Structure 1
Amino acid sequence: MKTYSRICAIVFGLMMTALCVVIAAETILRKLLNHSLAGVDELSGYAIAIGAPLCFAVTAVERSHIRINLLHMRMPERAQAVLNLLSAVSLAALAIFLAVFTVRTVQETQMFGSVAQTPWMTPLIWPQMFWMIGMGVFTLATILLALRALALAGRGNGAALTRDFAPETVEDELEAELSDLEARA
Structure 2
Amino acid sequence: MLQQVNRVLDRLLVGVDRGSLWLARAGGVMILLTVVLVTLEVLSRQFLGRSGLHSTELTGYVMAISSSWAFAYTLVRKAHIRIDALYLNLPGATRVVLDLLALLAQALFCVLVVGAALEVAEAAYSADAHANTPLATPLWIPQSLWVLGLLWFSIAVVLMTVRVLTGLLSWRLDEVQAVAGSLTLDEQIREESKDTD
TM-score by length of 1: 0.90
Give RMSD over aligned pairs.
1.6
Structure 1 residue 74 and structure 2 residue 89: aligned?
A: yes
- Does the 8 A contact of 2:54 with 2:135 survive in 1? yes
- Does the 8 A contact of 2:72 with 2:156 survive in 1? yes
Match 1:154 to one of 169, 178, 181: 169
- Does the 8 A contact of 2:131 with 2:139 survive in 1? yes
Match 1:123 to one of 127, 130, 138: 138
Query: What amino acid is the match of 1:165?
Result: A
* Cα distance in 2, alignment partners of residues 28 and 137 from structure 1: 37
**Aligned-pair CA distance for 1:48:** 0.9
Q: Deviations over 1:23-64 (max 9, x none)?
A: 111111111111212421100010011111111111111011
Q: Which structure 1 residue ranges, 4+ long, deviate > 6 Å from structure 2?
A: none
* Cα distance in 1, alignment partners of residues 128 and 84 from structure 2: 46
Match 1:94 to one of 95, 102, 109: 109
- The alignment partner of 1:67 has SS state of coil
Structure 1 residue 3 and structure 2 residue 22: aligned?
A: no
Query: What amino acid is the match of 1:173?
Result: Q
The answer for unaligned runs of 5 or more in structure 1 is: none
The answer for unaligned runs of 5 or more in structure 2 is: 1-13
Structure 1 residue 110 and structure 2 residue 147: aligned?
A: no
TM-score by length of 2: 0.85
- Does the 8 A contact of 1:84 with 1:166 survive in 2? yes
Aligned to 2:11: none
* Cα distance in 2, alignment partners of residues 105 and 98 from structure 1: 10
**Aligned-pair CA distance for 1:138:** 1.3
Paired positions, count: 182
- Does the 8 A contact of 2:24 with 2:66 survive in 1? no
**Aligned-pair CA distance for 1:126:** 1.4
Identity %, equivalent residues: 26
* Cα distance in 1, alignment partners of residues 141 and 23 from structure 2: 20
